[in-house]
């Protein structure tokens, strides 16, 4: 969140300082092939199932950093304070001479990390979804109420919110049904790990969260009031240093690991406390900044990443900031509630000429809930972004068998100026009713009522029982996308014998039937 970002909310934080830290990049992951074969990954079952559902193959980025390499660093006296499986690297604190790293054959390189200076109704899960209260106009602008009226309110979908602080979320009534129930999945403070996300960092994240998760019928209801949420503090509001991009990277990896479907981040970076760290606009090309790379990596794992375009439209910078330049993210610009462009919203295109922002929503006088369950009007694409993120979850709830790119593409195509995008609103204001129609005509649908047993398979023999009797093709893939077995299915029930070459491990089973598809995880085990 660059230092002149437009936030109309109070902020509080504690000062923290620490010693110089160093990124240590490893040459490889020697255990990766075996880990991928056996499914021994740095991912939850839900995360793996998200990939399988979308047909996304796993790769070395899904394997944890080598424990052996980390142990060798520790034996030399280094303290490992952070790991990144996507970068295949760790952060170590100062201790022994950094020159010791040069003699280690598994260390590719090491670089220093620049460190920062040190009257409302009770929430309920039984809401009348059309009783939005103060949020009515901004939800109706993008036709979000269409999905809600059909019963799609985000239930079963998981949104990770990467922001500054979430002070007050654990005490405010509009969040009561979230915090007190099973839908509150995870939280972590990456800025000050000793603190919770509710202790410091201000209320920016609280306001962002309210546009999605608040659930107080007749007073304020967000765009995804029944979704699951995790809250991650990555932004240090007392300073602006590139280390916050690494906080974001760590949080995105955690969101992937736990199985989140959507990431919302109302942050943007280009201007730092030290001029030497500033980015130029030429670097807003989708391939340069750490946070943009991390956002695209998250998207490649099957997560829809929704980000604010920024609030620099009226400044000398004028343009989007990282990670809004990512080619796989949905960058959200800002409008009035009438749909007109608001001048502070950062403009596109990206440095390499791609349409940015992708779509736009209410950012001027956007209604949010702040401390004390008070509704205010706030200005910033910080608040248009989560409105869209919540509705992404609702749309995906209706079409769970589609992948993240298909969901994002439908939202772009639904926007009112898709045929003639501009640098102010991008493709324009999305219409989630139109996106629903687009996806209802998708090129394939899911095969219903397929039974596969036993699973796990212990003697390489299994039965496929389908409701339909149409001929179909069964394909079995490794988690990395290698086809290891195929056969035809005829009739309603088929007995399948897997060949002996199929080793123990986790596989992805596809059934293709005309324009329908079925995907599931298959576990193969040897007899005891």
What pLDDT is stored for residue 55 in this prediction?
87
Using 50, 70 and 90 to split pLDDT, how confident is the model at 454?
very high
Which residues span the domain enclosing 481? 446-524
| Burial (0-12, 13-18, 19+ Cβ within 10 Å), 222 | buried
Evaluate whether residue 455 is within a structural domain. Answer: yes
Q: Looking at the structure, tell me whether residues 381 and 520 fall in a common domain.
A: no
Domain end marker among 419, 440, 461: 440
- Mutual orientation of helices 404-414 and 381-398 as an angle, nearest 10°? 120
Contacting residues for 155 by C-beta, under 8 A, at least 6 apart: 226, 227, 397
Categorize the per-residue pLDDT at 19 as very low, low, confident or very high, splitting at 50, 70 and 90. Answer: low
Question: Given pLDDT bands bounded at 50, 70 and 90, which one contains residue 169?
Answer: very high
Average pLDDT score over the chain: 90
Percentage, residues of the chain above pLDDT 70: 92
62, 43 Cβ separation under 8 angstroms: yes
SS3 sequence, 184-236? EEEEEECCCCCCCCCCCCCCHHHHHHHHHHCEECCCEECCCCCCEEEEEECCC
Residue 146, domain member (yes or no): yes
Per-residue pLDDT band for 120 (boundaries 50, 70, 90) equals low
Residue listed under structure tokens 């942050």: 267
pLDDT range class, residue 117, cuts 50, 70, 90: very low
How confident is the model at residue 13, as a pLDDT? 28
For helices 432-440 and 404-414, give the axis angle rounded to 10 degrees.
130
124-143 pLDDT tens trace: 665 555 699 999 999 999 99
Is 264 in the same domain as 393? Answer: yes
Does residue 145 sit in the same domain as residue 249? yes
Looking at the fold, whether 148 and 234 belong to one and the same domain comes out as yes
- Determine, yes or no, domain membership for 120: no
Lookup result for tokens 């990939």 = 51
Regarding whether 97 and 140 lie in a shared domain, the answer is no
Q: Which helix (H) or strand (E) holds 52?
A: helix 45-54
Same domain, yes or no, for 380 and 465? no
Same domain for 165 and 33, yes or no, is: no
Phi, psi torsion values for 237, nearest 5 degrees = -80, -10
Residue 505's CATH number = 2.60.40.3080
Do residue 154 and residue 197 come from a single domain? yes
Q: Are 108 and 25 in contact (CB under 8 A)?
A: yes
Same domain, 257 and 168: yes
- 100, 183: one domain: no
Domains in the chain, number: 3
Q: Which pair of tokens denotes residue 222?
A: 């967000």
Percent residues over pLDDT 90 in the chain: 76
This prediction has a pTM of 0.89
Does the structure show a pLDDT above 50 at 17? no
Query: In this predicted model, what pLDDT tens digit does every residue of 406-442 receive, in sequence order?
Result: 999 999 999 999 999 999 999 999 999 999 999 988 7
List residues bridging with 485 in a β-sheet: 476
Pair 193, 222 in one domain? yes
Do 231 and 376 have their domain in common?
yes
Which pLDDT value is given to residue 114? Answer: 63
* Predicted local distance difference test score (pLDDT) of residue 122: 66
What are the tens digits of pLDDT across the range 54-97?
A: 889 999 999 999 999 999 999 999 999 999 999 999 999 877 88
Q: 489: pLDDT confidence band, cut at 50, 70 and 90?
A: very high
d(CA 302, CA 386): 18
CA geometry: angle 142, 143, 146, nearest 5 deg:
150
User: Which of 113, 147, 169 delimits the end of a domain?
Assistant: 113
pLDDT score of 116 more than 50: no
Q: Rounded to an integer, what distance in angstroms lies between the CA atom of residue 246 and that of residue 437?
A: 39
Residue 171 has a CB neighbour count (10 Å cut-off) of 13
Cβ pair 161, 209 in contact under 8 A: yes
Residue-wise pLDDT for 202-243, tens only, equals: 999 999 999 999 999 999 999 999 999 999 999 999 999 999
Q: Which residues, 6 or more positions from 441, have their beta carbon under 8 angstroms from its beta carbon?
A: none
What DSSP line would sit under 418-466, residue for residue?
TTS-BTTTBT----HHHHHHHHHT-S-EEPPSEEEESSSBSSSEEEEEE
Q: pLDDT digits over 273-296, tens only?
A: 999 999 999 999 999 999 999 999
Q: With bands split at pLDDT 50, 70 and 90, how would you rate the model's confidence at 14?
A: very low
Cβ count near 420 (within 10 Å): 8
DSSP 336: -
């Amino acid at each position: 969140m660059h230092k002149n970002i437009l936030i109309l909310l109070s902020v509080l934080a504690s000062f923290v300082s620490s010693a110089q830290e160093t990124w240590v990049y490893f040459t490889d992951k020697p255990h990766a092939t075996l880990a991928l074969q056996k499914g021994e990954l740095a991912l939850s079952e839900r995360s793996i199932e998200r990939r399988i559902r979308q047909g996304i193959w796993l790769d070395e980025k899904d394997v944890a950093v080598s424990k052996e390499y980390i142990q060798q660093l520790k034996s030399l006296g280094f303290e490992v304070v952070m790991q990144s499986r996507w970068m295949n690297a760790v952060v170590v604190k100062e201790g022994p001479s950094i020159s010791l790293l040069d003699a280690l054959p598994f260390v590719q390189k090491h670089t220093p990390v620049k460190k920062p200076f040190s009257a409302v109704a009770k929430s309920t899960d039984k809401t009348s979804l059309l009783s939005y209260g103060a949020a009515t106009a901004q939800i109706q602008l993008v036709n979000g109420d269409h999905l809600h009226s059909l019963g799609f309110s985000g239930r079963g979908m998981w949104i990770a919110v990467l922001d500054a602080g979430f002070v007050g979320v654990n005490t405010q009534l509009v969040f009561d049904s979230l915090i007190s129930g099973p839908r509150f999945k995870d939280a972590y403070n990456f800025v000050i790990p000793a603190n919770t996300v509710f202790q410091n960092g201000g209320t920016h994240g609280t306001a962002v969260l309210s546009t999605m998760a608040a659930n107080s019928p007749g007073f304020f209801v967000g765009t995804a009031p029944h979704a699951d949420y995790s809250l991650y503090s990555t932004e240090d509001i007392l300073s602006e240093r590139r280390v916050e991009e690494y906080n974001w990277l760590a949080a995105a990896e955690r969101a992937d690991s736990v199985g989140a479907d959507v990431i919302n981040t109302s942050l943007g970076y280009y201007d730092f406390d030290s001029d030497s760290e500033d980015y130029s606009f030429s670097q807003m090309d989708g391939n340069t900044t750490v946070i943009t790379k991390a956002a695209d990596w998250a998207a490649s794992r099957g997560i829809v990443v929704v980000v604010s375009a920024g609030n620099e439209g009226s400044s000398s910078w004028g343009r989007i900031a990282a990670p809004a330049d990512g080619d796989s993210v949905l960058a959200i610009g800002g409008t009035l509630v009438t749909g007109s462009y608001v001048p502070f919203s950062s403009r596109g295109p990206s440095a390499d000429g791609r349409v940015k922002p992708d779509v736009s929503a209410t950012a001027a006088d956007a209604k949010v809930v702040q401390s004390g369950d008070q509704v205010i009007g706030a200005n910033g694409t910080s608040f248009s972004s989560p409105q869209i993120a919540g509705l992404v979850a609702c749309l995906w709830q209706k079409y769970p068998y589609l992948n993240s790119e298909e969901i994002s593409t439908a939202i772009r195509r639904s926007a009112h100026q898709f045929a003639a995008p501009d640098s102010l609103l991008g493709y324009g204001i999305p219409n989630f009713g139109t996106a629903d129609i687009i996806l209802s005509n998708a090129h394939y649908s899911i095969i219903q009522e397929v039974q596969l047993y036993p699973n796990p398979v212990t003697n390489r023999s299994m039965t496929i029982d389908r409701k339909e009797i149409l001929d179909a093709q069964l394909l079995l893939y490794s988690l990395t996308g290698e086809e290891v077995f195929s056969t035809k299915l005829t009739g309603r029930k088929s007995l399948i014998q897997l060949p002996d070459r199929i080793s123990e491990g986790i596989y992805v089973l596809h059934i293709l039937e005309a324009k329908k598809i079925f995907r599931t995880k298959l576990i193969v085990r040897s007899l005891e």
